[in-house]
Amino acid sequence: MAIQFLHDINLNYNELQNVKIHVTSSTPSTGKGVIYFDDSAGQQKLKYHDGSSWQTLTTDTTIPVRTVSVDTDGDGTADNTLAASETLMLKKGSNITLTESAGVVTIEAAGTAATDLSKTVSGTGFSVNSSTGDNVALSLADTNNWGLMSDEMFDKLDGIETSADVTDTTNVKANMPDGVPSGSASQARSQIGAGTGDGTVDTSGSPVDNDYAKFTDANTVEGTNISTVIVANTFFICLCMD
C-alpha cells in the first residue's frame, strides 16, 4: 500500500532516483502540474495538467516549422524567405490599416484606393470600366447634348471633301438639277453667295408657302403668289396676241 504524504517534500535539489511515474487508466483529479502515464487502451502516453486541460508529452523531438515566403513583385514566386530564427512581422503600408485582437490580424484599406480604368468599344456602344466602382456607358451626341460620334456619323462626315464650302461654284454647279441653264440668273441665285447679289431675301411682301420667287433686283428675291403669276402671264399673252 502506498504511503501517503500530507505535506510537500523538499529534496533540496537532490536527485529522485529510480522513480516511476504513476501508471493508471483512470484520469487523476485535475490540478496544475499533476503528471501520470495514461495506460488506457490506445493511449500509452505521458500526460500532465497545465491548469486548464490535460496535455500529452511527445517523444517526437522534431518541431514542425512552416516556411514563410514573400512575393515582393506579385508574380507568384517567392522573392524572400524568412529564416527559422526570424520573427514574422506585418507592417502597414500606404492606405492600409492593421489591427490585431486575440491573435487575429485584420488588414483593411484606408482612404481612397487606386482605381484602374479600361474601355470597352464595339459596333453598338462605348463604356468606361472601373476596377473599384460602377462602369459608365457613354451616349452619342444629339441635337441638344454633347456626346460621342458613332461610326455612322464618322462615315458621313468622312465622305465630305476636304475644305468643302457652299460657295464652291464648281462643285455646286456640278450638282445642280438638270434643266437649269449654266450661267443663268436662276443658277446664279441657287449658288448661295455667288453672282453679283449678296443673297438677301426681302420679306416685305410677306411670302408664304407655295409662293413663287421673283427677282426684283440683283440682291432681292420676293415671294409672289400663284394668282399674281397667272394674271401677269395672261396679260403678257394678251399683249402678244394683239
Assigned domain for 222 exists:
yes
- Last residue in a domain, options 98, 125, 158: 158
Assigned domain for 48 exists:
yes
Q: What is the pLDDT of residues 34-77, one digit of tens each?
A: 999 999 988 889 999 998 888 988 766 666 677 888 888 888 88
pLDDT at 76: 86
Pair 190, 234 in one domain: yes
Supply φ then ψ for residue 136, to 5 degrees. Answer: -125, 125
pLDDT: is 234 or 133 the higher one?
133
Pair 176, 213 in one domain: yes
| pLDDT at residue 178 tops 70 | no
Assigned domain for 75 exists:
no
pLDDT at 185: 42
Assigned domain for 9 exists:
no
H helices present in the chain, as ranges:
151-158, 169-174, 185-190, 226-241
Q: Name the residue type at position 151.
A: D
Pair 190, 224 in one domain: yes
pLDDT at 204: 55
* 19 contact partners, CB below 8 Å, separation of at least 6: none
240/82 Cα distance (integer angstroms): 117
pLDDT at 225: 61
Supply φ then ψ for residue 47, to 5 degrees. Answer: -130, 155
Assigned domain for 77 exists:
no
| pLDDT at residue 94 tops 60 | yes
Pair 173, 236 in one domain: yes
- Last residue in a domain, options 57, 76, 107: 57
Determine the structural domain holding residue 152 and report its residue range.
117-158
* 131 contact partners, CB below 8 Å, separation of at least 6: 115, 116, 117, 118
User: What are the angstrom distances between the C-alpha of 238 and each of 86, 212, 224, 228?
Assistant: 122, 22, 21, 15
Name the grid cell of 124: 453598338
| pLDDT at residue 224 tops 50 | yes
| pLDDT at residue 187 tops 50 | no
Residue 226, CA atoms < 13 Å, CB-side half-sphere: 2
Assigned domain for 65 exists:
no
| pLDDT at residue 198 tops 60 | no
Assigned domain for 76 exists:
no
Name the grid cell of 128: 468606361
pLDDT at 118: 92
Pair 173, 151 in one domain: no
Full-model pTM: 0.28
Pair 152, 179 in one domain: no
Pair 187, 236 in one domain: yes
- Last residue in a domain, options 41, 57, 73: 57
Residue reference for cell 514563410:
68
pLDDT at 110: 73
* 137 contact partners, CB below 8 Å, separation of at least 6: 125, 126, 127
Nearest Cα to Cα of residue 36 among 48, 19, 18, 50: 48
Pair 199, 223 in one domain: yes
- Total domains in the chain come to 3
